[in-house]
Structure 1
Amino acid sequence: MKTMSTLEQLSQTTKGLQQTVATEFASLDLAALNFKPAPDSWSILECLEHLNRYSRYYNSAIAKAIAQNTGGTDVTSISYSWLGKKSVDMVRPQNTKKHQTVKHMNPNNSQLDRTTVEEFLQHQQELQQLLQQARGANLAKKAVPVEFFKLLKMRIGEALEFVVVHQERHVQQALRVKQQQAKLAAA
C-alpha cells in the first residue's frame, strides 16, 4: 500500500473517530456515559479511557520514533513484520473475537467523568499531528516499543495503523453500548 494514501486514510479515519465521539458522546449526561450493559462489560467512558491509556503511551512513543527517523529514506509502502500484522489484525473491528487486555489498560469499574471524553479528543488532535509528521519519516523502521513488552518493536507505519484500528474497534464498541442503552430506555 502506498505510504501517502495509507497515512491519508489513517488521518481520515482519525478525523471520523474524533467527529463521532464529539457528536455521539459529548452531549450525553454522566449516567449515560457510565451505563454498562453488564457488570463485566465496559461503559462508553471505559471504552474511551482504555483508548486514552493506550494513547498516553503510543502517542509519545510514536512521536519519539518519528523524530529519530525523519528524512533520508524514501519509503513508498508500509510493510509489516509478523508482530505488526498480528497486532493490527487482532484489533481490527471486523475481528469479533474478544481479547483480554493487560491489567493496567483495563478501565473496568474506574471512576470516570467528562474529562475522559475531552482527553480522547485531545489525543486525536495529537495523532493527527503525528500522521502529518510521519510523512517525512522512515515508516519501515522498527522503532516503536510494544507497550506491554518493550523489547519488541513495531515499525512506525504499522504502529500508526495499530493505534487507529484499535481506536476504531473501541469507538464502535462504545456506539453499541449507546444503542443498548437506547433500547432499554425505549422498552
Structure 2
Amino acid sequence: MIAMTTPEQLSQIIKHLAETVAQEFSSLSLVDLNYKPSPDSWSMLECLEHLNRYSRYYNPALAKAIAHNTCENCVPSITYSWLGRKSLDMVRPQNMKKHKTVKHMNPNNSQLGRATIEEFLQHQQELAHLLYDAKKANLNKKAVPVEFFKLLKLRIGEALEFVTVHQERHVQQALRVKQLLAKQAAA
C-alpha cells in the first residue's frame, strides 16, 4: 500500500535533494566526480546526468499536463493506478534491485563536467515551481505520457511522485559512490 503524498511533501524532498547535491558534490574535483567503482557502474556525475535526461522529458510533460488540468476546488490527494504503483515501487530508494535503464537514458561512459550539477539544480528549481502549480491541478488526471512508451499515461500526481522518488534513488546512489571513493582514498 502506497501512502498518499502531497505536492508539499514532494517539495520538501526536492529542496533537500538540491541542498544535498550542492553541498556534497559541488566542491569535488572533476576526477572525483567522474570516479567509477567499476566499469559498469555510474559515477556521481553519471547518476545526476541520468536524472537530467529524465527531467528534460518529464518537466515539460508535467508543465503541459498541469497547465491543461487546473481546477477550482481540487482534491489534493491522489489515487494510484496499477502503472503508477508499479512505477513507484520500481524506483523507490528502498528497492535496491538494479533495473536496466533504456539506452538513451543510460549515461554510462559519458564525458561530463560541472554543468551536469548546474543543470540538475536548475531542474530542481523547475520541479519546485511545478509542484507549486500542481496545488491547483487535478492530480488524478491521466495526462503524463510515460517516457519510454507514450501510449501509457501516468496521473499527474503519480508522475510528480515518480520523478521525485526516482531522483531520491539516484542521489543516494551518487552518495554511495562518494563513500566508495572516500574508502578507496583512505586505504
What TM-score results when the alignment is normalised by the length of structure 1?
Answer: 0.97
Q: Tell me the percent identity.
A: 76
Over the aligned positions, Cα root-mean-square deviation in angstroms equals: 1.0
1:20 and 1:179 map into 2 onto residues whose CA distance is 14
Q: What secondary structure, in the 3-state scheme, does the structure 2 residue paired with 1:161 have?
A: helix
- 1:86 equivalent to 2:81? Answer no
Matched residue, 2:133: 133
> What are the ranges of 5 or more consecutive residues in structure 1 without an aligned counterpart?
none
Cα displacement string for residues 119-141 of structure 1 (whole angstroms, at most 9, x for unaligned residues): 00000000000000000000000
Aligned residues of 1:37 and 1:177 also touching (Cα < 8 A) = yes
- 2:124 paired residue number: 124
Question: So what's the TM-score if we normalise by structure 2?
Answer: 0.97
Q: How many residues align?
A: 185
- Aligned AA for 2:185? A
CA contact (8 A) 1:62 1:130 kept: yes
Mapped to 2, the partners of 1:140 and 1:154 lie a distance apart of: 9
* 1:46 paired residue number: 46
Structure 2: tracts of 5 or more residues without a match: none
Counterpart secondary structure, 1:150: strand
Letter in 1 for 2:149: F
Q: CA deviation at 1:8?
A: 1.1
Compute the displacement of 1:74 (Å).
Answer: 2.2
User: Map of 1:99-110 to 2, 5 A cutoff?
Assistant: 99-110=99-110
Q: Which moved more, 1:142-151 or 1:73-82?
A: 73-82
Contact 2:45 2:116 in 1 (8 A): yes
